[in-house]
A = this chain, B = another copy of it.
């Protein structure tokens, strides 16, 4: 297959009636369906094709994702893109439409689509699969009977109409009072005009993006960071500037450098038990970051999604609670991780001038948050039940973390073969971050792991750029201790099997591995 053929058929500006990517899709579809490109044959990389055709890489990415949608090709991170079938899926939906929708979607939608198109679909989880993927709390701690009692009491009381009415856009009065009290216990003093109740952390991010980010604006993020935050910023056409992190959180030199070279609109940080690495920002760095925010006049969005879940070590003040925090920090928290995610309740604390803008963005996007959930949670908090709950889950999650750390030490014992994995020891939160030797791929490991009955999130999902394939994110809170033990045993088995495909070198496998590695370096 001579890829230069494409040049003769696809040229920027040659046929203006069709977008470039459509020309590429049509041509490649023809080659695949006609057999000119055989099943399982490997395609050039995005970069190679972009250079060959002298087009933007995003054009190739879009063409690839269309071809992927058609079921014609399939991409595997770290391995490349292959022809999967020589017959395009015909869309079977009766709504299959007359409009050519693809040319009508907004840039926000295209960006979100492109991001998702790069993700491999998650394997369906069978009942005996042990999952360390995701980041969910566990059902055994859900407050069933307490909620039942509260809902019954409220609905039988004289105040029950408010369950059915719009809450104020800023949140239900009762819940606002309880959240302010909760914040105070966490060392955060905030006035009523500095607080907004939101429908979960993701909406908090969405509103902040809405209020601060215009297309082309720069947002600084830890690299790696929270997947859906990256999606949100990118779908608003923000430039996401990566700032590197180590086990003490974001690196100051990297941050200062980014601040000096980009006119940042926002710094997005998870100072405590970061997603995905579990890293916690040291107090020294917290102080210094606030100074930098002041110096460069840039607000910080502090995502405190698991601030309540510290298992040992000294509690650290949030950025919001430190000097300068009240002026420079927009603070977000949620009940999704420590209590339960189905409520979709969280909050934003911000200087009042900013808060009034966030409130307006909230109105424009969904008017207000569900009242029943707000009132039920407010009563739960007001009865002092959350404190007890936190103690209970902290103790359980600490045991689970310790169990996973213990199992890792047992099953991933250093062998001296040069193929040892390393992992983080988080002081709280949900995640352990496992690092494979740099030539290995978490995606490959995942294929073996799923055969053994265990799954996890490959770390490359969370990086802003580059090919970081050697990382594994393990969530330790959602399974009981014996299951964690068994899951890590399975993972180590999978790891051994994966290693055998490399260490037991058949020339061809080793060759493939080297090629893959080389492509990364191109």
A interface vs B, CB < 8 Å?
91, 93-102, 104-109, 112-113, 116, 136, 139, 142-145, 147-148, 151-152, 155-156, 160-167, 190-191, 193-194, 199-200, 202-203, 206, 210-215, 217, 228, 231-232, 235, 265, 294, 297, 299, 326-328, 340-344, 350-354, 357, 360-361, 363-373, 376
Q: Are A97 and B148 in contact (CB under 8 A)?
A: no
Q: Give A139 to B191 CA distance when docked, in angstroms.
A: 32
Bound Cα distance A142, B162 (Å): 10
In angstroms, Cα B200 to Cα A328, docked, is: 33
Check B155–A148 contact: CB distance below 8 A: yes
Chain B residues positioned under 8 Å from A351 (CB to CB): 93, 95-97, 99, 101
Per DSSP, are chain A's interface residues mostly helix, strand or loop, or mixed? helix
Which of B98, B109, B326 contacts A211 (CB under 8 A)? B109
The complex places the Cα of A371 from the Cα of B361 at a distance, in Å, of: 23
* B109 adjacent to A162 (CB under 8 Å): no
Question: How far is A327 from B368 in the complex, measured between Cα atoms in Å?
Answer: 31
Q: Kindly list chain B residues whose C-beta atoms are within 8 Å of the C-beta of A155.
A: 144-145, 147-148, 151
List chain B residues, Cβ under 8 A from A113.
Answer: 357, 360
Max chain B Cβ within 10 angstroms of own Cβ: one of A160, A165, A193, A344: A344
A164 touches B343 (CB 8 A): yes
What 4 additional pairs, Cβ within 8 angstroms, besides A164-B340, A165-B340, A165-B342?
Answer: A142-B161, A144-B164, A151-B152, A162-B342
Q: Tell whether, in the assembled complex, residue A203 and residue B167 are in contact, meaning their CB atoms are under 8 Å apart.
A: no
Q: Are A352 and B96 in contact, with the CB atoms below 8 A?
A: yes
B342/A210 in contact, CB under 8 A? no
Is the Cβ of B361 less than 8 Å from the Cβ of A344? no
Q: Are B97 and A265 in contact (CB under 8 A)?
A: no
CB-based contact A93/B342 at 8 Å: no
Q: State the oligomeric state as a number of copies.
A: 2
Report whether A93 and B372 are in contact in the complex, using a CB–CB cutoff of 8 Å. Answer: no
Whether A94 and B235, one on each chain, are in contact in the complex, defined by CB atoms closer than 8 angstroms, is no
Give Cα A113–Cα B363 distance, bound, in whole angstroms: 11
- Chain B residues with Cβ below 8 Å from A214 are 106-108
A155, B139: Cα distance in complex, Å: 13
Report B-chain residues with C-beta under 8 Å of the C-beta of A144. 155, 160, 164
Cβ of A371 and Cβ of B342 under 8 Å apart?
A: yes
What are 30 A-B pairs with beta-carbon distances under 8 A?
A93-B351, A95-B350, A97-B353, A98-B327, A99-B328, A101-B351, A106-B217, A107-B214, A109-B210, A109-B360, A109-B361, A148-B152, A151-B151, A152-B152, A163-B342, A164-B341, A164-B342, A165-B342, A199-B370, A200-B367, A202-B365, A202-B366, A202-B367, A210-B235, A235-B361, A344-B369, A365-B365, A370-B372, A372-B372, A373-B373
Known contacts A106-B214, A206-B365: does B156 contact A142 (CB below 8 Å)?
no
Give the distance to chain B from A138, nearest Cβ to Cβ, in Å. 10
Q: How far is the CA of A198 from the CA of B190 in the complex (A)?
A: 31
B residues near A328, Cβ cutoff 8 Å: 97-99
Closest 8 A-B residue pairs measured CB to CB?
A342-B371, A164-B340, A148-B155, A142-B164, A97-B351, A95-B351, A203-B366, A93-B352
Chain B residue nearest in CB terms to A299? B99
Minimum Cβ distance to chain B for residue A202 (Å):
5
The CA-CA distance from A361 to B151 in the complex, in Å, is 32
> Chain B nearest CB: distance from A408 CB in Å?
27
Residue of B98, B148, B366 touching A294 (CB-CB under 8 A)? B98
Q: How far is the CA of A214 from the CA of B342 in the complex (A)?
A: 32
Provide the bound-state CA to CA distance between A269 and B120, in Å: 38
CA–CA, A143 to B231, complex, Å? 39
Q: In the bound complex, how far is the Cα of B236 from the Cα of A213, in angstroms?
A: 12
